A and B are shown apart, each in its own frame.
Chain A
Amino acid sequence: MRRYQLTVNNNEYEIDIEEISATEFQVQIDGQAVDVTLTSQADAADAIITPQIETAPSRAVADPSIAAAQPVTRAPKVPAAMRSETPRTPSPAVAGGQDLAYSMSAPMPGVILEINVAPGDQVNKGDVVMVLEAMKMKNDLHADRTGTVESIDVKSGEQVKYGQVLLRFVKD
């Protein structure tokens, strides 16, 4: 628990904040309990970076029990926003390929089992566009960009080589 003693417009408040989970807090303002949910938090570029030393205002600890209540160093949480939920499929670059940024190639040799899109279709990054059977397993191939399909360069049932171009996107 953290205790803040603050003065706003000459009114003194004592606020106790207890962390229940990363986003939920039990807050007591002068003994009155309220539930608080944190929806987002982000730093803003406000501290001034100058050649001058900027000292933080000294924190006078009036009540020693507050110092004792200082939380120990907690492990930071990895925010969900930093983890991509989009599945990825590698798209190896092959010699002589043109517009590599707008094409998908076979990540390994195998047989194309399914083709889920047709030229002209709009696909989103992460969509399963084809299924490739290789190494005795079915592998979903995910679009590596959002865009419109220009051409499908393979047929269902076709044996493909490593790095063979599978489909092309319309270049924007």
Chain B
Amino acid sequence: MNDTVTPEQSSADHLTTLRHMREKAVQGGGAARIEAQHAKGKMTARERLSILMDEGSFQELGALATHNVTDFGMADKRFPGDGVITGFGRINGRRVAVYAQDFTVLGGSFSQVQAQKINKIQDLALESGIPIVGLNDSGGARVQEGVRSLAAYGEVFQRNVAASGVIPQISLIMGPCAGGAVYSPALTDFTVMVDQTSNMFLTGPEIVASVTGEQVTAEELGGAAVHAGRSGVAQFEARSEIQALELTKLLLSYLPSNTSEDAPILVSDDSPDRMAESLNTIVPQDDRQAYDMRKVLDEIFDTDSILEVHEAFAPNAIVAFARLDGRPVGIVANQPLVMSGVLDIDSSDKISRFIRICDVYSIPVITFVDCPGYLPGVEQEYNGVIRHGAKIIYAYCQATVPKISVVTRKAIGGSYVALSSKQMGSDVAYAWPSAQIAVMGPDGAARLLHGRAIKTAEDPAKAEADFVAEYREKFFNPYRAADLGQIDEVIEPRETRPRLVRALEVLQTKIATSVPKKHGLFPV
């Protein structure tokens, strides 16, 4: 190799050699490949990092690492860094570790050296207790390396799991991500996909076509819209690479650096005592009419602070990060506008996953309940809505962070219990006067309790209507529950923000202890 340094060389030569090698590392796969990357509407790994990291904060590790493979002409294809940039730096002044695959170098293909570099930075992040962000853009395993590159995936997975729940792990998908490579993002806390330029699948369109005969494009099979909407594999869908990077910075602002720290409390422009008059009239008089829960949340939390997670997946539920007087909180809410706000398999997955993330990072959970119950149907039962619905209950019961609930309208049957009820460890339970907290709806109750009396009555329709009216008056309000202590306080909707701010202030020092165990058996 030309770069070898001989003893005769002066120290000036040493420096020249180093600078020359570093220059080569910066060029990645060369000008032609960089141009090809730009032509696809994608940035290079270094360009992405320059947007993600605070200026001048990035420090690279392993820039000169190359592979030792000689099979299939690989001896001539050595690039310093081997297709991944690893290092650490700062985002909004806070320390983070990062790795970014470089598609311009051998298609970003995953090699043993790549894995070693990523592993080192994963270990560093875990031991230092700082978040790790991975920018994925890789054609897959480096086939020329044989089984070595497969083993390398295992090394990354092992560290993903070791770090899970200790430090935030965020994966950005900014290009292809296929086969084994999809599992590292799936093991991390958040996956962000870029619309049109990224895709994720276990088996690609060719294999799907040869096995099932179905013709699909990569975008139709595993594009950002598919995973952010139908499958829920991605928590965020960004319209551009820049937006994906900005979103990552924003997301990190709600999270602590690790599980033993608290997320930063930032200064908010919004008054903690602000009343939201419009909330007093937001719930329609007619039960059958829906309203937009997002408008309710916008009025209560700090202005422009709500960051929805899984926005397009299971939209009958809303989960989001937000701030309340500058303090990060997690929101779980039903969305009456979509599917009447019912709970089903997908929304159970969405809600339970989010509660566990909030719990592990000490972020209080505030739940807004307007849920008519679980979605009835043969398909839901056959697909195991019981074991999926159990996840919500498990997650709420397990969570030791402050939990506050607000019943805005329907809290009926199982959904009342499952969604942060007082008995399942809710610290403070509020209800609006429009709340309907009951075991079942009035029509069902009429048939069940007075079916015979109604049938034998002179005017069955009138008898039923009378019973329904009586049931509504007695049970379809928050006062029976408040009477029994199941609701702590019935509040005016406009007071919700100041009430929540005050409750959180008290609960910030909450301590809950549990019996030590290896781990619970979460109903997956």
A residues bordering B, Cβ < 8 Å? 22, 42-56, 72-84, 87-94, 98-99, 101, 107-109, 134-140, 144, 161-163
Q: Does B253 contact A (CB under 8 A)?
A: yes
Nearest Cβ in chain A — how far from B317, in angstroms? 11
8 contacts between A and B (CB under 8 A): A50-B60, A73-B267, A76-B250, A84-B312, A88-B311, A90-B230, A139-B338, A162-B380
- Contact string against A for B residues 242-277, beta-carbon threshold 8 Å, 1 for contact and 0 otherwise: 110111011001000000000010111100000000
Chain A residues in 8 Å Cβ range of B372? 135-137
Q: Among B5-13, B49-57, B182-190, B469-477, which stretch is in contact with chain A?
A: B49-57
Tell which of B105-113, B300-308, B388-396 binds the partner: B300-308
Residue of B nearest to A145 (CB): B225
Please name all residues of chain B whose beta carbon is closer than 8 Å to the beta carbon of A74 when the two chains form the complex.
Answer: 266-269
B residues near A22, Cβ cutoff 8 Å: 304
Cross-interface CB contact of A163 among B238, B336, B379, cutoff 8 Å: B379
Given the complex of chains A and B, what is the CA–CA distance between A93 and B93 in angstroms? Answer: 44
Residues A81 and B290 in contact, CB atoms below 8 Å apart: no
- C-alpha spacing A47/B268, complex, angstroms: 30
Using A73-B93, A82-B243 as known contacts, list a sample of 17 further A-B pairs with CB atoms less than 8 Å apart, ordered by residue number in A: A49-B26, A50-B22, A51-B22, A51-B64, A73-B264, A74-B268, A75-B267, A78-B306, A83-B308, A84-B311, A88-B311, A90-B346, A93-B230, A108-B339, A108-B375, A137-B287, A137-B340
Inter-chain contact A139/B50, CB cutoff 8 Å? no
Determine the chain A residues whose CB is within 8 A of the CB of B214 once the complex forms: 98-99
**C-alpha spacing A44/B48, complex, angstroms:** 9
A5 to B415 Cα, complex, angstroms: 60
Measuring CB to CB, which residues of chain B are less than 8 angstroms from any residue of chain A?
22, 25-26, 43, 46-51, 53, 55-56, 58-60, 63-64, 85, 92-93, 214, 216, 220, 226, 229-230, 238-239, 242-243, 245-247, 249-250, 253, 264, 266-269, 287-290, 302-308, 311-312, 314-316, 323, 326, 336-340, 342, 344, 346, 372-373, 375-380, 441
A111 to nearest B CB, angstroms? 13
A54 shortest CB reach to chain B, Å:
5
The answer to whether A137 touches B290 (Cβ under 8 A) is yes
Out of B50, B306, B314, B378, name the residue touching A49 (CB < 8 Å). B50
Distance in angstroms from B336 CB to nearest chain A CB is 7
What residues on B are CB-neighbors of A140 within 8 Å? 337
Quick one: given A45-B50, A136-B288, are A75 and B323 in contact (CB under 8 Å)? yes
Q: How far is the CB of B235 from chain A (nearest CB, A)?
A: 13
The number of inter-chain residue pairs (CB within 8 angstroms) is 171
Please tell me if the beta carbons of B229 and A144 are within 8 angstroms of each other in the complex: yes
A138: min CB distance to chain B, Å: 6
From A22, A54, A101, A137, residue with most partner B Cβ within 10 Å: A137
B92 to chain A, nearest CB (A): 8
Which residues of chain A have C-beta atoms less than 8 A from B22's C-beta? Answer: 50-52
Is B26 within 8 A of A51, CB to CB? yes
Residue of B with least CB distance to A74: B267
A45 in contact with B306 given A72-B267, A109-B377, A138-B290 (CB within 8 Å): no
Residues of A within 8 A of B342 (CB): 108, 135
Contact status A43-B305, CB under 8 Å: no
Contacts of A45 in B (CB 8 A): 43, 47-48, 50-51
Say whether A101 contacts B226, CB under 8 Å.
yes
Q: When the two chains form their complex, are residues A75 and B56 in contact, meaning their CB atoms are under 8 A apart?
A: no
Is the CB–CB distance between B229 and A88 below 8 Å?
Answer: yes
> Which residues of the partner chain A approach B245 to less than 8 Å between Cβ atoms?
43
Q: Given B238, B268, B289, B344, which contacts A75 in the complex, CB threshold below 8 Å?
A: B268
Cβ distance B319 to chain A, nearest Cβ, rounded Å:
14
What residue of chain B has the Cβ atom nearest to residue A101's Cβ?
B220
Contact A50 B26 (CB under 8 A): yes
